[in-house]
Each structure stands twice: as structure tokens, then as C-alpha cells.
Amino acid sequence: MPAAIQTELTPEKLAGGVQDSPLIELNGLTKTYGLGDAAFQALKGIDLTIRKGEFVVIMGPSGSGKSTLMNVLGCLDTPTSGHYLYEGIAVETLDADQRSLLRRYALGFIFQGFNLLARTSALENVELPLLYRGMSRKERHEKATAALTAVGLPTKLDSTPGELSGGQQQRVAIARAIVTEPSTLFADEPTGNLDSVTTRDIIEILTRLNVDRGITVLMVTHDENVAACAKRRVVIKDGLVESDSTSP
Amino acid sequence: MIWNAFAIAVREIGRNLTRAFLTVLGIFIGVASIITMVTLGEGATLAVKAQISSLGSNLLTLRPGAGFGQRGSSAGVPSFTERDAETLGEQIASIAAIAPVRTASLSTIYLGNARASTITGTTPIYFQINKWSLAEGRLFTDLDVRSGSAVCVIGNTVRVELFGTENPIGASIRIGRASCEVIGLLATKGQAGMGDQDDTIIMPLSSLQRRLIGKTSSHDINQISISAVEGTNSLELIAEITQIMRQRRNLQSNQDNDFNIFDTRQIAETLGSTTQLMTMLLAAVAGVSLLVGGIGIMNIMLVSVTERTHEIGIRLAIGATASEVLLQFLVEAVTLSCIGGIVGILIALGLCYGLAQVIKVPFNFNTQINVIAFAFSAIVGVLFGYTPARRAAKLNPIDALRHE
């Protein structure tokens, strides 16, 4: 890894910054799957700016490209063309390892399907990102316990995903995403598999993280009730931004 | 980073013990089967070789009659004389030693124990020709042969049957009508292709002829034992012996030989090539079992990595680099392969040791095959644990996550 990127990715730098400075800047971002005649353009040129501390919902019909957008923003996938600046870092120029480090130090991801390690206790799942940061056992344990307490699961530390309900599993996933104190949290339909009561709990947790800790939250959903929690709403249609509105 | 990967790997192994067990089992079976097969095969080969060499490698035996083993055909055929043996010894330079032999089947009795034994009457050179060595007491001498002393040397089977745990040296046994002092006990030779060699009583030729057999034809002998000089072509030697014996027995050119020559070297060569074939067969079977073991390991590793592509996706998504994930898989594969290999070697050696006792072959530790089996399994384990993981770790995290 070039030393320049390493210094750019220091946790201090990634956690710092002023609330109003642009966190994410997208310029003509495209993503094409497949080649030749079979090619399918999921993103056709997205321009979007997101500032620190915002809570943004991304909406749109199925197949509109909103999940693809989330994956590219979360560095789980790579754009085909266009520019993506994260805190001034040109993400499209990073290699796989550098993207891994960006995810490790700056990004948190929550999935519709939770994606917890099976047969692994909630505590160990939450400790995992800290392990890759080379944190000591004691520190890992403290931070993971604190994160699980923050999402309301202080009594489920030793339960494995199989022993937890969907809502509880999603809370473990949120704890895992926030335990590294990321600057941005990406949530791809986090409540898609949950009932309305649990959904409200999860949204409350996300809102609290945004308000109390200043974590920027980007959430994909197609549930109007869920979308109502956010001030800013971006609608994607056919791989393009259809509307971008901020409620007062 | 290595310590980190090791901690994660150990934790992952502990988390799915069934998968770990199956992986270890695959490696274990591969290692254990080839080591057991080769070790026991080599033990059996060694046992056969030891028995062949105990026969004496350049030994010829002359018997009257057209063919070896066809007892009926020796009926009516004149036996040999001591003079035949002397003449052969004098005329053929490539004969190192020659012993006249007279055998007789007689009952032997010591105290209450009786059994039928084959008594061999011969000269002291016979012990050298047939590679007998002494366990206890002494062998008889030329002086004993000249004076016709009533002494004998016995094989271990006879000692067990007649004396049990008693010391046989100096004891007097009854052979046929005469009594005879046991002066020596022969070192055991074991079973050879032709029955129990240790079931034997050997005494001076003159003693057997005078004391045990009636006056008629008492100077006849029914066997001549010959050892050839090292490096002799046994076919040429057999031709020379045949020529002299035909002359001495006045056979016309249209008559068949009325004697036969038994060549242990030929037998040894036949048995030797059989043993070699057996070793090659075992090596082939072992090779196949190693291959099957390898395929087993490969299967488990491939299946578990496919199954774990999702896990790789999760690890990448939360910020692990591809090399960190790979290091974890490498450590896991190495750990499991080593455990399987070591357990396989230990169990195989225990099994071989036990089986060697049961089937009575020597236990022979072959370092080479242990190393080969271990290395092969470890390489297969690591290769097939690591290569698919490498492919998975190169995927975009989102693609790895789609594998469920």
C-alpha cells in the first residue's frame, strides 16, 4: 500500500472534519454488469454530494440501482467509471487492500440479511472488526460489550445468531458496524426482514447514532414509514438520481 | 498479523469441529493407510528374504529319482554311495563343500515323549553348507564320524516337543532301537517354503548307518549336499555334476537321468522375484490409497471453502484484507493437515506394530514413507484449502457475500 494512502486513512483524519464539509462526492458514477450485448448498466451516471452528519434515505423501485449504489459507496463493489471522493480520497483509484482498509477504519455496513458469522457468539461477531485492527483482547471485549449494550443487547453477549430473533440479529450487526466508530454507516434495507415493531426499534437506534454520535447514515429502504425518519430523501430510478429533496 | 491469523484460525477450527474432524479424518486416512500398507509389506518382504537366505544361497542337493518331490519315482532307482560324493568333490573345482547325507524316519523317545522324526546322518561340513549355527552345546566332529559315536544335534522344534523347558544338552534320547546323546542345539531357522526346518535331528553319518539302520545297504546314501564356490554359474555346475553322475551310474545316452538336482539358488531367485512383485503391488495399492486419501482431502477442503465463501465475504466487508483472510485459511489448513498427519502416523505405527506381532513379520520403521505420506497429505491439504480460498478472497466482497 502506498504510504500516501496509509497516511490519508488514519483514524484521526477519518473521524475528524467539520459537520458541513462534503463527506461523499459522486461525479458521473456508473456501474455496468456483464460484457457486450449482455451488458446491463445498473448506474448510469450518479452525481451526489453527502455531508458529514447527514441522515439520507435512498429510495426507488426494485432494480433501480439503489443497492448497487450502496455497495459501491460502501466499497463492497467497484464503479465502472466516474469519480467517487470519500473525504477527499479518490476511491476509484484504490486497490482491493486499500478499499479493505477504508472499510476497516471509516465505513460500517448493515445488511438486510444481517450477515453475521454463524455459530459465533454475538460478542465474538462484534469483536471481529476490532481483531483486524489488532486491538488487545481486553480492549476488544470492552468495546464490543459497550456496542452491544448501546443497541440494547447487554444480556445476549454469548448467544449465537441461531439463538437470536431477526431484530436481535440486526442489532448485533449494527453493534458490529459501529464498534469501530466509523464515520459513515451504510444500511441496505436493514428492516426488510423485520416486523413493524422491531423496525421501529432499529430505526430508533440508527437515528440515535446519527444524532448522538454524529455518524453519517445512508439507508436504502422502500418503506415510507422508515423513510420518514430522515430529513433528506434521494430517489433513484433507472440508474439515475430522479429527485433529491430535503425536508425542513 | 500472523499471531492474529493464528488466533482467528484456531477459533474457527473450534467453532466447527465437525468440519475440522472430517478434514483431519481425510488426511488421517490417507497417511495411515499408506504407512500401514508399506510398513507391513516391507516387513513381509524382509521375513521372506530372511527365510530364503537361511536356506543357503548357493546350495545344490542331489537325490536319486527322476524328479524332486516325486517319491514314487525313486523306488527301484539305485541310491548314491559315499564314493559318488567324494568323486564329485575331487573332480569339480567349483564345488566348495560336499556332504553325503543319509536320512531315515524313525521314532524318537525321551522319557514319556515320543514323536516321529527325520534323522539326518552326515559329516560336519553339512552344517556349513546348510548354514546351520549352534545355539548351545557343540556340533559333532570328523572324529565323531570316524568313530561312529552315538551323538546327535537337534533342532529347536525337536527340543520343544521332547524336552519342553528342560535343558536337552547331555540328555540321552532313544532313536529307533539305539540311544543317543544330545550334544548340541541348533539355532532356529523358522518356516521356509518347504516346511519346518527346525524339525530335525542331525548325527554322524557312520553312526546312523551302523547303529540305526540294518546291515543291508548300510553304506548307501540318499542325498548329496553341495555348496558351490561364490560366483559359480549354477547351470554349468549342474551340467558337470550331471555328466559325472551319468558316467558313474552307467546311463546310456538314450536313458533319462535317474537322479535330480535341486538348486536353492533357483528357488531363491523365484521367491525373490515373487517378493519383488509383491512389493511393487503393495506400492501400487499404497499409491492408489494415497491418491484416494488426497481426493478425500481435496473434496472436504473444496466443499468447506465453497461453504465458507460467504464467511470470506463477511470478513472482507468488515475490513479484513484478502491477505489476512488467506493467512487465516492457510493457518487453518496447515494446522488441520499437521494434526491429521501426526495422528495418522501415530495410529499407523501403533497398528503396524500390533499387526506385525499378529502376522509374525518384523516391524520395520521406514522414515522415508512416513515423511512422504505426511508431506503429500500436508501439501494436498494446504493446496486445496488455500487455492479456493484465494479465489474467494479475490472477489469483490459483495460477490463473496452472495454465496449462501
Per-residue model confidence (pLDDT) at position B75: 60
CA distance B80 to B62: 9
Cα gap B82→B98, rounded to integer Å: 11
- Least confident range from A43-57, B8-22, B164-178: namely B8-22
Instruction: Test B318 with A109 for CB contact under 8 angstroms.
Output: yes
Identify which of A124, A134, A176 has the shortest CB distance to residue B318.
A176
Q: Is A41 exposed, middle or buried (0-12, 13-18, 19+ CB in 10 A)?
A: middle
pLDDT tens digits for B102-140?
A: 988 888 988 888 888 889 999 999 998 888 889 989 999
Query: Quick one: pLDDT at residue B72?
Result: 46
Asked if B319 lies within 8 A of A105 by C-beta distance, the reply is: yes
Contact B59, B127 (CB under 8 A): no
Task: Give residue limits of the domains in chain A.
Answer: 3-246
Higher pLDDT, B40 or A48: A48
Asked if B362 and B356 count as a contact pair (C-beta separation under 8 A), the reply is yes
The per-residue DSSP string of B324-392 comes to HHHHHHHHHHHHHHHHHHHHHHHHHHHHHHHHHHHTT------HHHHHHHHHHHHHHHHHHHHHHHHHH
Q: Residue B368's pLDDT is what?
A: 87
CATH of domain A3-246: 3.40.50.300
- Greater confidence (B5 vs A41) lies with A41
Residue of chain A whose Cα is closest to the Cα of B317: A76
Q: Cα-Cα-Cα-Cα dihedral of B136, B142, B144, B145, to 10°?
A: 120
Closest-CA distance, B390 to chain A, in angstroms, reads 13
Element (H, E) at B106: strand B95-110
Q: Is the pLDDT of residue B289 over 90?
A: no
Q: Count Cβ atoms below 10 Å from residue B270 Cβ, excluding itself.
A: 12
B332 touches A: beta carbon within 8 Å: no
Please tell me the distance from the alpha carbon of residue A202 to that of residue A194, in angstroms, as a whole number: 9
Mean pLDDT of B215-244: 83
Tell me what the mean pLDDT of segment B31-57 comes to. 79
For B324, nearest residue in chain A (alpha carbons): A132
Interchain proximity A76–B398, CB inside 8 Å = yes
Lowest mean pLDDT among A35-39, A227-231, B291-295: B291-295
pLDDT band at A164 (very low <50, low <70, confident <90, very high): very high
Q: Which residues are registered as beta bridge partners of A49?
A: A25
Name the residue among A71, A77, A132 with its Cβ closest to that of B319: A132
Q: Which residue has the cell 501426526?
A: B342
Tell me if A97 and B323 make a contact (CB, 8 A cut-off).
Answer: yes
Chains A–B, number of C-beta pairs less than 8 Å apart: 69
pLDDT tens profile B147-178: 889 999 999 989 988 888 889 999 999 998 88
Q: Angle CA(A151)–CA(A156)–CA(A161) in degrees, nearest 5?
A: 95
pLDDT at B215: 59
The pLDDT-based confidence of A81 (bands split at 50, 70, 90) is very high
DSSP-derived 3-state class of residue B225: strand
Gyration radius of chain B over CA positions: 34
Mean pLDDT of B87-108: 90
Question: By three-state DSSP, how is residue B136 classified?
Answer: strand
pLDDT exceeds 50 at position A45: yes
Burial class of residue A218, CB neighbours in 10 A (0-12, 13-18, 19+) = buried
A131/B4 CB distance under 8 A: yes
Give the SS3 label for residue B402: coil
Say how far apart CA A172 and CA A127 lie, in whole Å.
11
pLDDT digits (tens, 9 = 90+) for A93-102: 999 999 999 9
Q: Is pLDDT of A5 > 60?
A: no
ipTM of model: 0.90
| pTM (whole model) above 0.80 | no
Average pLDDT, chain B: 84
B324 contacts on A by Cβ (under 8 Å): 132
CA-closest candidate to residue B264, choices B54, B51, B56, B48: B56
> Looking at the complex, does the CB of residue B314 fall below 8 Å from at least one CB of chain A?
yes
Q: Closest Cα of chain A to B332: distance in Å?
A: 17
Cβ distance of A97 and B318 shorter than 8 Å: no
pLDDT confidence of residue B381: 79
3-state secondary structure of A144: helix
> What are the grid coordinates assigned to B170, written together?
547331555
- What confidence tens digit (pLDDT) does each residue in A190-230 have? 998 889 899 999 999 999 999 999 999 999 998 888 999 89
pLDDT of residue B402: 86
Could you tell me which residues of chain A have a Cβ less than 8 Å from any Cβ in chain B?
71, 74-78, 96-97, 100-101, 103-105, 107, 109, 111, 115-117, 119-120, 124, 128-129, 131-134, 176, 180
Q: What is the DSSP letter of B241?
A: H
Tell me how far the alpha carbon of residue B209 is from its chain's centroid: 38
What phi-psi label fits residue B394: left (phi over 0), alpha (psi between -120 and 50 degrees) or beta?
Answer: alpha
- As a whole number of angstroms, the distance between CA A74 and CA A72 comes to 5
Instruction: Give the CA dihedral B245, B248, B254, B260, nearest 10 degrees.
Output: -30
Between chains, do B315 and A128 touch, taking CB under 8 Å as contact? Answer: yes
B137 bridge partner residues? B184
**pLDDT, tens digit (0-9, with 9 covering 90-100), for B300-336:** 777 777 778 888 999 999 999 999 888 888 888 888 8
State the greatest distance between any 2 C-alpha atoms of chain B, in Å, as a whole number.
Answer: 106
The pLDDT score that the predictor gives to residue B117 is: 86
Question: For B347, what's the count of Cα atoms within 13 Å in the CB-facing half-sphere?
Answer: 16
Share of chain B above pLDDT 70, in %: 93
Backbone Cα Rg of chain A: 18
Interface of B with A in 1-20 (CB under 8 A): 1, 4, 7-8, 11, 15-16
**φ and ψ at residue A219, rounded to 5 degrees:** -130, 130
User: Which pLDDT belongs to residue A60?
Assistant: 92
A8 has a pLDDT exceeding 60: no
Mean pLDDT of B288-297: 79
Q: Quick one: cell of A180? A: 469501530
Q: Which of residues 233-292 of B touch A (CB under 8 A)?
A: none
Q: Which residues of B touch A109 (CB under 8 A)?
A: 317-318
Q: Is-contact B297 B23, C-beta < 8 A?
A: yes
Percent of chain B residues past pLDDT 90, beyond the cut: 20
In DSSP terms, B134 is beta-bridged to B186
Give residue A19's pLDDT band: very low, low, confident or very high (50, 70, 90): very low
Q: Which residues of A touch B15 (CB under 8 A)?
A: 119-120
Confidence of residue A122 (pLDDT cuts 50, 70, 90): very high
Mean pLDDT of B341-355: 91
Q: Which residues of A touch B4 (CB under 8 A)?
A: 131-132, 134
Nearest to A49 by CA among A28, A74, A67: A28
A157 vs B282, residue with greater confidence: A157
**Chain A neighbors of B397, CB-CB under 8 A:** 75-77, 103
Locate all alpha helices (DSSP H) within B204-263, ordered by sequence. 205-207, 234-248
Cell triple for B68: 524332486
pLDDT in tens, B350-400: 999 998 888 878 888 888 888 988 888 888 878 887 888 888 888 889 989
Contact A219, A50 (CB under 8 A): no
C-beta atoms of A77 and B313 within 8 A: no
Identify the band that residue A2 occupies on the pLDDT scale cut at 50, 70 and 90.
very low
Residues 6+ apart with CB under 8 A from A20: A51, A52
For residue B268, pLDDT beyond 70: yes
A50 residue type, one letter: I
pLDDT at B273: 79
- Residue A120: which of B4, B7, B15 has the nearest Cβ? B15
- Are B164 and B114 contacting, i.e. CB atoms less than 8 angstroms apart? no
Nearest Cα of chain A lies from the Cα of B372 at a distance, in angstroms, of 36
CB distance B401–A76 less than 8 Å?
A: yes
Residue A204's pLDDT is 93
DSSP characters over A102-140: HHHHHEEEE-TT--PPTT--HHHHHHHHHHHTT--HHHH
- Give the C-alpha separation, B246 to A4, whole Å: 103
Residues of A in contact with B7 (CB under 8 A): 131
The mean pLDDT of A10-16, rounded to a whole number, is 51
DSSP E strands: which ranges in B129-169?
134-137, 151-154
- Cα B322 to Cα A116, B89, B314: the distances in Å are 19, 84, 12
* Residue B164 cell numbers, joined: 519342553
Contacts 24+ apart (CB under 8 A), B21-24: B22/B300, B23/B297, B23/B300, B23/B301, B23/B304, B23/B336, B23/B340, B23/B381, B23/B385, B24/B336, B24/B339, B24/B340, B24/B343
- What pLDDT shows up at residue B191? 60
Calculate how close chain A gets to B393, using CA atoms only, in Å.
10
